Amino acid sequence: MSVKQWDYSYLDSHDLRQHYMDPLDTLSMKFHVQGVKCGRCAEKIESLQSAFPEVESLRFNMANRQLLLGLKSPEASVARIVEAIEDKGFVLTPIENKNDLEKLNKKEDQKQILRLGVAATCASNIMMFSFANYFGASGSMNDLFNWLSFALYLPILIYAALPFYQGFWQSLKDRRLSVDAPMTFASVGGFLFSSFNLIRGQGSIYFDSLAGFLFLILLSRFLQRQLQKKFLSFHGEMPSESLSRARRLSEGQSLWVATENLRIGDHVLIQKNEIIPVDGQLISSQAMLSTAYLTGESEILLRLQGAQVMAGSILRSGQAEIQVTSLPSQSFFSQLVKQIVDQSQLQKRSGIQTLSDIWSQILLVSVFSIAGIFLAVNWQNDSQMAMERALALIVLACPCAMAFGTPLAISFSMKNAFKKGLLIRSPEVFEKVTQVRNVIFDKTGTLTGKKMRLARILPEKASQEQINMILSLENISQNAYADAFRAHLNSDLTKLLPVENLKEIPGQGVQGNYLGNSYELKAALSEVGPKGGIGFFKNGVQELVFFFEEEIELKALFLFKKLREKQIGLYLLSGDKESAVRAVAEKMELSADRWFSEVNPRDKAETVKKIPNAMMIGDGVNDSLAFQSAHVGVAVQGSVEMALRSSDIYLLSEDLIQINEIFSISHRAMRLIKGNLCISLIYNLLGGTAALLGLINPFTAALLMPVSSGFILLSTWWGSRQ
Amino acid sequence: MNILYLAIPIAICLGAFFLYSFFWAVKNDQFEDMEMPAFRILFEERKKETIGEEIT
C-alpha cells in the first residue's frame, strides 16, 4: 500500500468537471489508463466497483484503453476512486469531452455498419430467390421469386445506398462528377429498368446483381475506413493526454491540478520520464532533458538553473522544479499537438485539383457520354439490348483508382512522412515536390546556427573564475553562442554565480554585475586578431576573446550530394554579411551565381520568384514571403501554426537529411497513384468495350467492379509499406 | 411446392428479426469493445472488496 503522496481533490473541482464531463450527462467521466497489460489488470480495476457504493459502473475498454466511470449522483467524489485505482499501479488521465467530433465519428461508423448489415441481409436473400430461378424454377414460382427480389431490393434502394445518393448530390453542387455518380445511376437506373421488365413480364431483371454489387462496394468502403482508422490515426503517437495535469507546489505541498489552471509564476514539480507540460524556467540546479517530441533529436540536453525549458520536453534526470513562464496553451508543443490532431481528424480537400481528380472526371464524363450515345443510337433497334449494355457499362466503369486508391496512397504517404518528422500541409504537396528542380537554402538557422564551434581563445585559456562568470552570464540565453560556451566550458568545477542586473541584449550580448564588478560578453574589439570574435569584458577591459566557427552539419553536406545526384540545382540565400555567407557557400561548392548575401526578405522573395520550380528551405516566420513565391516551401523552425500558413512542409526533426526523404516519399506516392491510374485505365477500356459488345452482362459487371476496387486497394496498401 | 407459401414468409420474418437484433446490438454499443467481454466472464465475484486488498 503506497504512501499517500498526492492530493486528488482537483478532480472534484467544478472547473475540471465542467471541462471533462459531458454537460448532458454529469454522471459519467472517461479516463485514459496507462499500465493495463492484460485482463488481470482490467479485473483489478473493475473489481473496485464493489468497494465504492457511489459507483454505478466501472468499465474498462481494452480497444482504446479507456475507463468509463459511472456515478450514482453528480455530487459523488471522483477523487477517491481515482486514488484507489492509481494505488494499484495504474495512471489515470481524464479525457476531455470532445463532444462534437468524437460523437460524430462514432455515429458515422455506426450508420455505416447498419447500412452494411441491411445490404448484406437483403442481397443474400435476393440471391437465394434468384438462384432458384437460375436453376429452373418456372411459372408462378418464378414470378413470385422475382417479386420477392423486387421487394427485398427496396430497403437497399432507399436506405443502404443513401450515401451514394448524398455523395452524388454533393458532387453535383460542386459541379463535378464523383465516383458516387455511376453507383447512383446503377442503383436507381438498374432498379427502374428491372422493375419495368418485371411488370412487362419479359426481359432480364437485375435485382440480384445490383444488390450484390452495392453490398460489395459498401463493404470495401467500410474496410477502407477501418484501414484508415487503424493505420493512420495519430492517437497513440502524441502524448496529448498525459499533459492534462501537473503537480503544483504550494507551501511545500504538491497538488495535482489541471494544466489549464496553471498560472504564470506557479511552481511545478516534474518527475523522471515525465513530460513537462508547460514552458518554464528551471528552479532546480540542473536537469537533463530530451526534446525528442519537439525536434526529433534524441540527444539529451543539459540545462542549468535559471534556463528556459520547453513544454513537451521529457525529463530524464531525477526530479525538477519549474516555474511557469507562459500559459500552457501558448507553448509550441500544444500548438504542435493541436495541429497534428486537426490534421488527422479532418480530411481537408485541397483547392488545387490533383492529377487523379482530373482523370476521375474525364473517365466518368466519358463513360456517361458513351453510355448515353450508345443508348440513343440503339434505342430504335433494340432498346432492351441497349439498356442492358449501357447498364453493364455504367456498373463496370469504376474510377476506383481515383476514388479509393489515391486517397489511401496519399494518407499512407502522409503517415510515412510524419514518421520521418515531416509535417505535410495538404495532399497536393507530394505532386509539387516531384516537380521541384531547384532547392534554395537559407543560411542562418537552416544550414548553420544550431551549433557553433568554439575555435580559438585569446590569450590562451580562460581561468575557472572567468569560466564561472561566462557561464553565469550566458545562463539565460538560448542562442547558439550560449550553447557553444556551455558545450566547451562546462565541467564539474563549474559554479554558477549569482549575477545581478543580468541582461541579455538580443543580437549584441549579455551583461551583469557581481561583487561590484561589471561583466560583459559582446563583440570583441578588433585590434586583437581577426574580426568577428566575442570578447569577455571585466569593468570595460577586454580580458578574453573567443572565436567561433559556424558548423555546417555533415548531414547538410550529405544532403547536397544527394540533391546533386538528382540533378537538382542548389542555391544559397541569406541576409547575413558577405564574409559569413561566402564561407558557407565555399563549403557547399557553390559557384558565384548561386549564392546571395545581405538579402532582405523582400528581395529574397523576388530572387526566389526568378528561380524556376524552386523548393525554399528556411525559417518558418522570417522566410514566409519567400515561401509564398516558391513552388514548395519547407520550414525548418519557428511557430508551427504560422509556418504552415505560408509553407507546405514543416520539418519537425530539424534533420536536413529528411529533405531527401521527402523526395523519395513523394516520388513513391506519385508512382503508386500513376500505377493505379494505368491499371484502372486498362481495366475500364477493356471492360467497357466488352460491355458494349455485349460480352459482359450487368451481373458479371457487378462482380468485376468490386473485384477491381479490392485489387487496387490491395496494391496501394502493398506499395505503401515501408 | 405449396409449402413455399408458408416457408417464405417465415424465412422473411426470421430475417427481419435478425436484422432488428443487429440494429439493436449496434445501437447499444455491443460492438464497441471486442476483447473485454471475453475477460469479464473470467473475473471473480467479490462480495465485499476493500481498498488495498490485492487479488492473488
Cell digits of residue A539: 569593468
Tell me whether residues A47 and B46 touch, CB distance under 8 A.
Answer: yes
Tell me whether residues A110 and B26 touch, CB distance under 8 A.
Answer: yes
Tell me whether residues B26 and A113 touch, CB distance under 8 A.
Answer: yes
Tell me whether residues B33 and A110 touch, CB distance under 8 A.
Answer: no
Answer whether residue A302 shows pLDDT above 70: yes
pLDDT at A696: 83
Tell me whether residues B55 and A48 touch, CB distance under 8 A.
Answer: no
Read off the pLDDT band of A203 (50, 70, 90).
confident
Answer whether residue A300 shows pLDDT above 60: yes
Answer whether residue A350 shows pLDDT above 50: no
Read off the pLDDT band of A298 (50, 70, 90).
low
3-state secondary structure of A517: strand
What digits encode the pLDDT tens for the residues A121-171? Answer: 999 999 989 888 888 888 888 888 999 999 999 999 999 999 999 989 988
Q: Which residue of chain A has the CA closest to B39?
A: A39
pLDDT at A236: 40
Q: Answer yes or no: are the C-beta atoms of A692 and A414 closer than 8 Å.
A: no
Cβ-based contacts of A67 with chain B (< 8 Å):
none
Could you tell me if B42 lies within 8 Å of chain A, comparing CB atoms? Answer: yes
Minimal C-alpha gap between B26 and chain A (Å): 7
Answer whether residue A714 shows pLDDT above 90: no
Read off the pLDDT band of A699 (50, 70, 90).
confident
Answer whether residue B28 shows pLDDT above 70: yes
Answer whether residue A37 shows pLDDT above 90: no
Answer whether residue A113 shows pLDDT above 90: yes
Which of B22, B34, B35 has the CB atom closest to A117's CB atom? B22
pLDDT at A42: 87
- A 10 A CB-CB count for A459 gives 9
Tell me whether residues B44 and A87 touch, CB distance under 8 A.
Answer: no
Cell digits of residue A624: 514566409
| Mean pLDDT computed over A315-326 | 84
Answer whether residue A98 shows pLDDT above 50: yes
Q: Answer yes or no: are the C-beta atoms of A428 and A631 closer than 8 Å.
A: no
Answer whether residue A47 shows pLDDT above 80: yes
Which of B19, B36, B42 has the CB atom closest to A62's CB atom? B36
Taken in order A690, A695, A697, A701, the sign of the CA dihedral is negative
The number of C-alpha atoms within 13 Å of A311 and in the hemisphere containing its C-beta is 27
pLDDT at A425: 75
Tell me whether residues B4 and A141 touch, CB distance under 8 A.
Answer: yes
Answer whether residue A115 shows pLDDT above 90: yes
Q: Which residue of chain A has the CA closest to B28?
A: A110
What digits encode the pLDDT tens for the residues A482-500? Answer: 777 887 888 877 888 888 8
Tell me whether residues A62 and B35 touch, CB distance under 8 A.
Answer: yes
**Beta strands at A438-442 and A614-619: parallel, antiparallel or unpaired:** parallel
Which of B19, B33, B48 has the CB atom closest to A62's CB atom? B33
Tell me whether residues B4 and A114 touch, CB distance under 8 A.
Answer: no
Maximum pairwise Cα distance, chain B = 70
pLDDT at B29: 85
Cβ-based contacts of B46 with chain A (< 8 Å):
47, 50
CA A514 to chain centroid, in Å, comes to 49
Cβ-based contacts of A63 with chain B (< 8 Å):
32-35
**Beta strands at A632-637 and A509-514: parallel, antiparallel or unpaired:** unpaired
Minimal C-alpha gap between B22 and chain A (Å): 8
Cβ-based contacts of A40 with chain B (< 8 Å):
55
Residues contacting A516, CB < 8 A, separation 6+: none
Give dist(CA A54, CA A450) in Å, integer. Answer: 56
Angle at which helices A698-719 and A657-692 cross, to 10°:
170
Of residues B10 and A641, which shows the higher confidence score?
A: B10
Among the ranges A367-376, A423-432, A620-629, B34-43, which has the highest mean pLDDT value?
Answer: A367-376
Q: Which residue out of A105, A110, A124, A229 would a mutagenesis test of the B interface target, given it has the greatest number of B Cβ atoms within 10 Å?
A: A110
Read off the pLDDT band of A235 (50, 70, 90).
very low
Give the DSSP H or E segment for A98.
Answer: none
- A 10 A CB-CB count for B18 gives 12
Beta partners for residue A448, in sequence order = A444
Cell digits of residue A707: 473485384
pLDDT at A186: 86
DSSP of B1-56, one letter per residue? -TTHHHHHHHHHHHHHHHHHHHHHHHHTTTTS-SSHHHHHTTSPP-SS--TTPPP-
Q: Which residue of chain B has the CA closest to A2?
A: B52
Percent of chain A with pLDDT over 90: 9
Answer whether residue A506 shows pLDDT above 70: no
Tell me whether residues B51 and A48 touch, CB distance under 8 A.
Answer: yes
Residues of A with CB under 8 A from a CB of B: 1, 39-40, 42-44, 46-48, 50-51, 59-63, 84, 87, 110, 113-114, 117-118, 121, 125, 141, 144, 148
Give dist(CA A57, CA A222) in Å, integer. Answer: 32
Read off the pLDDT band of B18 (50, 70, 90).
very high
Rg (CA), chain A: 33
pLDDT at A117: 94
Of residues A525 and A141, which shows the higher confidence score?
A: A141
Give dist(CA A477, CA A552) in Å, integer. Answer: 22
pLDDT at A342: 60
Tell me whether residues A110 and B39 touch, CB distance under 8 A.
Answer: no
Among the ranges A98-112, A157-171, A200-214, A576-590, which has the highest mean pLDDT value?
Answer: A157-171
pLDDT at A377: 86
pLDDT at A495: 82
Q: How many residues does chain B have?
A: 56
DSSP letter assigned to residue A405: I
The mean predicted confidence, pLDDT, of chain A is 80
pLDDT at A697: 80
Q: Which residue out of B20, B27, B28, B46 would a mutagenesis test of the A interface target, given it has the greatest number of A Cβ atoms within 10 Å?
A: B46
Give dist(CA A617, CA A633) in Å, integer. Answer: 6
Give dist(CA A477, CA A281) in Å, integer. Answer: 12
pLDDT at A546: 82
Which of B33, B38, B44 has the CB atom closest to A63's CB atom? B33
One-letter amino acid of A320: A
| Mean pLDDT computed over A509-533 | 76
Minimal C-alpha gap between A61 and chain B (Å): 6
| Mean pLDDT computed over A602-622 | 82
Q: Which of A474, A455, A469, A457 has its CA nearest to residue A535?
A: A457
Give dist(CA A200, CA A415) in Å, integer. Answer: 55
Cβ-based contacts of B27 with chain A (< 8 Å):
110
Q: Which of A83, A467, A18, A463 has its CA nearest to residue A256?
A: A83
Q: Which residue of chain B has the CA closest to A65?
A: B33
pLDDT at A449: 55
pLDDT at A341: 57
Q: Which residue of chain A has the CA closest to B17?
A: A121
Answer whether residue A361 shows pLDDT above 90: no
Alpha-helix residue ranges (DSSP H) falling in A267-331: 292-295
Answer whether residue A4 shows pLDDT above 50: no
pLDDT at A353: 43
pLDDT at A347: 44
Of residues A44 and A709, which shows the higher confidence score?
A: A44
Answer whether residue A447 shows pLDDT above 90: no
3-state secondary structure of A190: helix
Flag the least confident range among A196-200, A201-205, A340-344. Answer: A340-344
Q: What is the pTM of this model?
A: 0.62
Cβ-based contacts of A1 with chain B (< 8 Å):
52
Tell me whether residues B26 and A114 touch, CB distance under 8 A.
Answer: yes
Answer whether residue A677 shows pLDDT above 60: yes
Beta partners for residue A418, in sequence order = none
Percent of chain A with pLDDT over 70: 84
Which of A61, A113, A148 has the CB atom closest to B8's CB atom? A148
Q: How many residues does chain A have?
A: 722
What residues of chain B, 6 to 25, have a C-beta less than 8 Å from chain A? 8, 11-12, 15, 18-19, 22-23
Q: Which residue out of B43, B45, B47, B54 would a mutagenesis test of the A interface target, given it has the greatest number of A Cβ atoms within 10 Å?
A: B43
Minimal C-alpha gap between B21 and chain A (Å): 11
Q: Answer yes or no: are the C-beta atoms of A441 and A565 closer than 8 Å.
A: no
| Mean pLDDT computed over A271-280 | 82
Answer whether residue A595 shows pLDDT above 50: yes
Of residues A508 and A289, which shows the higher confidence score?
A: A289
| Mean pLDDT computed over A258-273 | 82
Q: Is the bond preceding residue A427 a cis peptide, omega within 30 degrees?
A: no
Cβ-based contacts of A110 with chain B (< 8 Å):
26-27
Read off the pLDDT band of A338 (50, 70, 90).
low
What digits encode the pLDDT tens for the residues A365-418? Answer: 888 889 888 888 888 888 788 888 888 888 888 776 776 777 778 778 887 888
* E strand intervals along A185-324: 245-250, 253-258, 267-271, 280-282, 286-290, 300-304, 308-309, 314-315, 319-324
Flag the least confident range among A217-221, A531-535, A691-695, B41-45. Answer: A531-535
Answer whether residue A191 shows pLDDT above 90: yes
Which of B23, B48, B52 has the CB atom closest to A50's CB atom? B48
Q: Provide φ and ψ at A240, rounded to 5°.
A: -65, -30
Answer whether residue A680 shows pLDDT above 60: yes
Give dist(CA A377, CA A391) in Å, integer. Answer: 15
Cβ-based contacts of A87 with chain B (< 8 Å):
51-52
Flag the least confident range among A66-80, A99-113, A223-237, A366-380. Answer: A223-237
Give the DSSP H or E segment for A546.
Answer: strand A541-550
Answer whether residue A96 shows pLDDT above 70: no
Cβ-based contacts of A61 with chain B (< 8 Å):
32-33, 36
